[in-house]
């Protein structure tokens, strides 16, 4: 039972997220390719972005600032490493040029009937960097969280799970 | 082996509904075991056993206060659950929620044109 979620090999360095979007693949792919689209959906509700520069081709970058709902700014630097319209985008995601902790995500777009399945496969250089990223994004979403806040937060989710 | 998994793994520990009830109760503050058992309609040995499992995986801690022993939430054991729930994943799931809504708008606009 415990083995089902046990990490094996690179599994403890990666995170896979997938989502089915009810729209044709070309359209879903398109919203990844232009700032006017990306700025409309990048980040959870309450987040916004200010782009310093953007170019969508292999080797080019998207240099931007992400603004959190609590007013914190995060410097973001994305380099496209592979672009295969409308199937696949690979990118390197860091905080700045030459960020040694940058990590690679590969997005694939597969037709699923009339819908499109996006699979985002992110591999971190080490398990420690994966864990750091998880913590960093917790902080990005929740502002500064102390461990006691964390306890209350998780217990709330456990409670919701018990009720649901 | 199944027993070992229960006592070493927070995920197994919270899979048990009564243990989730205990965690939900402790969210509001610390409780002595007798009051906790009464509040949740559990037997005293039953509540004690669940609390022991929760302590072993680091989800619950205990401290002495006078003659009483008070049980409270412990964040350390919650860390793996917290990490599993999210941060990075939650960020992207919520981004994809917005992407979905935006793409539906675009689709609508294209159909109207």
ipTM (interface predicted TM): 0.77
Contacts with B, A 34-53, CB within 8 Å: 37, 40-45
User: Which of B73, B75, B99 is facing A21, going by the closest CB pair?
Assistant: B99
Is residue B21 within 8 A of residue A162, CB to CB? The reply is yes
Q: Enumerate the β-bridge partners of residue B65.
A: B68
Instruction: For chain A, give the secondary structure using H, E and C.
Output: CHHHHCCCHHHHHEEEEEEEECCCHHHHHHCCCCHHHHHHHCCCCCCEEEEEEECCCCCCEEEEEEECCCCCEEEEEEEEEEEECCCEEEEEEECCCCCCCCEEEEEEEEEECCEEEEEEEEECCCHHHHHHHHHHHHHHHHCCCCHHHHHHHHHHHHHHHHHC
The pLDDT mean for chain B works out to: 85
Question: Nearest residue on chain B to A118, judged by CA atoms?
Answer: B96
Whether pTM > 0.90 for this model: the answer is no
Task: List CB contacts (< 8 A) between A155 and chain B.
Answer: 23-24, 26-27, 73, 78
Q: What pLDDT, in 10s, does the model give residues B31-63?
A: 999 999 999 999 999 999 999 999 998 889 999
d(CA B74, CA A15): 26
């Amino acid at each position: 039972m415990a083995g089902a979620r046990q990490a094996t090999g690179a599994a403890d360095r990666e995170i896979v997220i997938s989502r089915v979007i009810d729209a044709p693949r070309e359209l879903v792919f398109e919203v990844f390719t232009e700032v006017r689209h990306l700025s409309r959906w990048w980040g959870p509700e309450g987040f916004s972005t200010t782009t310093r520069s953007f170019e969508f081709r292999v080797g080019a970058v998207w240099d931007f600032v992400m603004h959190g709902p609590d007013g914190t700014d995060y410097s973001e630097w994305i380099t496209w490493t592979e672009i295969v319209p409308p199937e696949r985008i690979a990118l390197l995601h860091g905080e700045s040029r030459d960020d040694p902790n940058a990590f690679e995500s590969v997005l694939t777009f597969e037709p699923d009937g009339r819908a499109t399945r996006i699979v985002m496969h992110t591999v971190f250089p080490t398990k420690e960097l994966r864990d750091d990223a998880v913590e960093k994004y917790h902080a990005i979403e929740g502002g500064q969280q102390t461990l006691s806040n964390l306890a209350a937060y998780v217990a709330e989710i456990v409670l919701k799970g018990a009720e649901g | 082996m199944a027993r070992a998994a229960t006592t070493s793994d927070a995920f197994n520990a919270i899979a048990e509904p009564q243990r989730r009830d205990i965690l939900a109760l402790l969210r509001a503050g610390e409780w002595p075991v007798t009051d906790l058992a009464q509040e949740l309609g559990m037997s005293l040995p039953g509540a004690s056993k669940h609390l022991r499992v929760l302590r072993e995986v680091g989800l619950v801690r205990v401290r002495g206060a006078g003659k009483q022993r008070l049980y409270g939430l412990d964040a350390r054991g919650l860390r793996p659950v917290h990490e599993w729930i999210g941060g990075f994943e939650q960020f992207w799931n919520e981004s994809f929620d917005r992407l979905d809504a935006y793409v539906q708008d675009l689709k609508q606009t294209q159909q109207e044109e």
